[in-house]
Amino acid sequence: MLLEKGADFTTASNDGWTPLNSASDSGHLEIVQLLLDKGADFTTASNDGWTPLNSASDSGHAEVVKMLLEKGADFTTANNYGRTPFLSASNEGHVDVVKFLFQSLRLDTTETDSLGCTPLFLASRNGRLPVVQYLLSTGRFDPDIKNYYGSTALSAAVANGHYEVVELLMSTGVSSPEQFHVGRSLQWWAFRAGKPEIIKLLSCHVESSESVSQNEPTLADVAFDATSDWCDACTRSISSKSLYYSCQKCVNLDLCGDCYERGFRCRDQAHALTADLGGES
């Protein structure tokens, strides 16, 4: 009705979100179709670089994704975090979108976000088992690729306590489970996550001289939370009451207090980090 009255569908919010961005993010297929029929620009991105296609992929709206691609939306366009629609869908665990994009497009299976995280890494870190299963089943995604801080899909899954993902990676994916995660053994991180079952699983595959008591690990003060900010070094969730450090020049670069104290910094060493309290993404 508003469009029939001449409402401007190109007007964006202060964050740069247009009606098409919002409709795509919310999965309102009929509204997306109407806006596209009216000539809405599907290439317009928000201030954070979210295009309608990336928003729909991130939110898991497969039918909207299909519609936008049919209109010619660019599936290689990344947001300000360096994440394409495929990376966003993998991160959020939307296996239907992941399957559709992989089967329909000529994807770069080695693509990473701005910190070197692959689709398999992001899915593993967040415990997205169906996505991890699918990506591994294709045989096209290398589980041993390290991100900027030297973490792998396996080490991120261990640090965040995702037993089934760890088990799957160790049985079908990783070339060697004997890894270190930001300077500490996987057993150490499994203890930190409070997951004795992962410690037991690792002990069957790893001959490590390091005891889990090294540096007196204690249980993490925050459980895994897929909705919270997370430390880009250790990949653990940052609680709303925890001190963390963020880069004011790089988008979405956060380090927990422990990793900051251990010397981890932004990949651009000239960038200063600002202290703050954690919270939801």
pLDDT confidence of residue 5: 44
> What are the residues facing 273 on neighbouring strands?
247
pLDDT confidence of residue 56: 99
| Low-confidence residues of the chain: pLDDT under 70 | 1-9, 206-221, 278-281
b/e sequence 163-194, b meaning 16+ C-beta within 10 Å: bebbebbbeebbeebebebbebbbbbbbbbbe
Q: Per the confidence metrics, is the pTM higher than 0.85?
A: yes
Domain segments of the chain: what residues? 1-101, 109-219, 223-281
Q: How far apart are CA 166 and CA 154, in angstroms?
A: 6
- CATH topology of 1-101 equal to that of 109-219? yes
Dihedral over alpha carbons 47, 74, 59, 107 (to 10 degrees)? -130
CATH of domain 109-219: 1.25.40.20
CATH of domain 223-281: 3.30.60
Q: Is the Cα torsion angle 158, 163, 166, 170 positive or negative in sign?
A: positive
Q: Cα–Cα–Cα angle for 54, 58, 63, nearest 5°?
A: 80
CATH of domain 1-101: 1.25.40.20
DSSP code at position 258: H
pLDDT confidence of residue 218: 66
Secondary structure of residue 171 in the 3-state scheme: helix
